[in-house]
A and B are shown apart, each in its own frame.
Chain A
Amino acid sequence: MAEKRSLGKEFSKGIIKENPVLRLVLGTCPTLAVSVSVTNSIGMGVAATLVLVCSNVVISLLRKVIPSKIRIPAYIVVIASFVTIVQMLVKAFVPALNDALGVYLPLIVVNCIILGRAEAFAGKNSVPASFLDGLGMGIGFTFALIVMATVREILGAGTFLEGIDSLTKLFGVTGFTGFKIFSQPVAMLTMAPGGFLVFGLVMAAANKLAERQGKPKAELNGCSACPMAASCALVNKDEACENKGSGSVEKEGSAV
């Protein structure tokens, strides 16, 4: 992230090119859990984006004050504070969403995207750039969630935008409660296995598209993109990591 980029690029990179879910493979837990319905995905995406933008801005403001040795705990405090605020807002204004997201709402604290952006970007860049980076990454996260949820909700539940009125009534629009598309859906897709399956297939499609544009496909950056990578002995020992930068899975497999 050392090279200078225009502010517009900082914003737009998170949406497609460096999509946090489909390209950087971060934040998989909430993606799999929440993408059961489009309404939940929008709610989760907006909540996470809010936390991401606010924490990015605050961390960027404090980047010269926070000593680098204790930066991770300091980032966690900032992020956890904003998560608590968002949690209270959701509980007060959209209780249905609070029930639907359940434990995944407070778990935004440990969403790797947020800590990852704090560590990789906000801790080193100016406030406007961090704001746009957070916004772009948040929109990218929401976009990936909506793509997965669209597949899972239409095929798995036979509905689309079910329960959206719990969100739209915040803006004074009521009455629209989603489409009913068909009545005998593949229920498996809304359950746990469907999450893994659809995520795998969506990622394969994203790889195919990236390949067509001559970009490298998304690899399991589970370790190298992880915010804890610097302090993590696993990465340094290069023992369990799937991939460090360029090496592909097969190459590593044969080398072992």
Chain B
Amino acid sequence: MTLASIFLTAILTENFILCKFLGICPFLGVSKKLNTAVGMSTAVIFVMALATAVTYPINKYLLEKNGLEYLQTIVFILVIAALVQFVEIVLKKFIPSLYSALGIYLPLITTNCAVLGVVLLNVDNGYGFASSMVNSVGGGVGFMVAMIMFAGVRERLEGCDIPKALKGLPITLVAAALVSLSFQGFAGVVDGIFGH
């Protein structure tokens, strides 16, 4: 696969939230307002790219070289947790403007399954460094697209007359089903563009 097709696949056909169910907690919890949705997804793109950049060499030159692949899960989650803390401290100290925009979302991201998920998927797919990075950034952008779209849908839901049992979370999930259904329409689009 070319890098462009990996990027588009990660955004459209294999969207992290709507097709792979990774990162549902922030998707449901933080998508209520557009500005928080944008802030959270920017932080996710940032952390996903950084996590991939850091875990790729660790996996390739430390774990695989010594036959320690079974330690991937534990090493990756610790690296991500430490990385997020580190980024938080660095941003707070040196780039306060960026910290005030993204900082509040960072602690949440440690346990976001999309971040650990993208790192593990890169390994499972046997991607090289460039492909891994493109897949991670694409996954993050796809996350953002889904969050922003869904923030719009939820704003419209606010004023609707909904059956009592469905109010709140159930109707949000049903709305997510419809958004996800629309994303199913992208199946085959990327293959169509790049001719597979």
Chain A interface residues toward B at CB < 8 A: 25, 28-30, 32-33, 72-73, 76-77, 80-81, 83-84, 87-88, 102-103, 106-107, 109-112, 115, 188, 191-197, 199-201, 203-205, 207-208, 211, 217-220, 222-223, 226-228, 231-234, 237, 239-243, 248-250, 253
Contacts and interface: CB of A to CB of B under 8 A. Distances in A.
A146 to B, nearest CB: 18
Contact of B180 (A196, A208, A253): A196
A204 B176 CA distance: 15
B74 A77 contact: yes
By DSSP majority rule, is chain A's interface helix, strand, loop, or mixed?
helix
B32 A242 contact: yes
Nearest to B37: A240
B25 interface: yes
B24 A240 contact: no
Interface string B139-165: 000000000000000000010000111
Interface residues of B, number: 59
Interface in B110-147: 110-113, 116-117, 120-121, 124
B169 A203 contact: yes
Contact of A115 (B111, B172, B183, B184): B111
Given A30-B21, A111-B113, 19 more contacts: A28-B28, A29-B24, A88-B70, A192-B183, A195-B177, A197-B173, A200-B166, A208-B165, A218-B168, A222-B25, A222-B28, A222-B30, A226-B25, A226-B111, A227-B111, A231-B107, A232-B107, A237-B104, A249-B168
B24 A32 contact: yes
B177 A193 contact: yes
Contact of A195 (B21, B26, B74, B81): B21
Most chain A beta-carbon contacts within 10 A, residue among B36, B40, B174: B174
Contacts of B190: none
Given A76-B78, A240-B36, A201 B29 contact: no
A188 B181 contact: yes
Given A192-B18, A203-B169, A220 B28 contact: yes
A249 B167 contact: yes
A201 B171 CA distance: 8
Contacts of B177: 193-197, 200
Contacts of B173: 196-197, 199-200, 203
B169 A218 contact: yes
Interface string B43-75: 000000000000000000000000000111110
Contacts of A115: 111
Given A84-B71, A226-B25, A110 B165 contact: no
Given A200-B177, A222-B29, A112 B74 contact: no
B116 A107 contact: yes
Interface in B1-54: 18-26, 28-30, 32-33, 36, 40
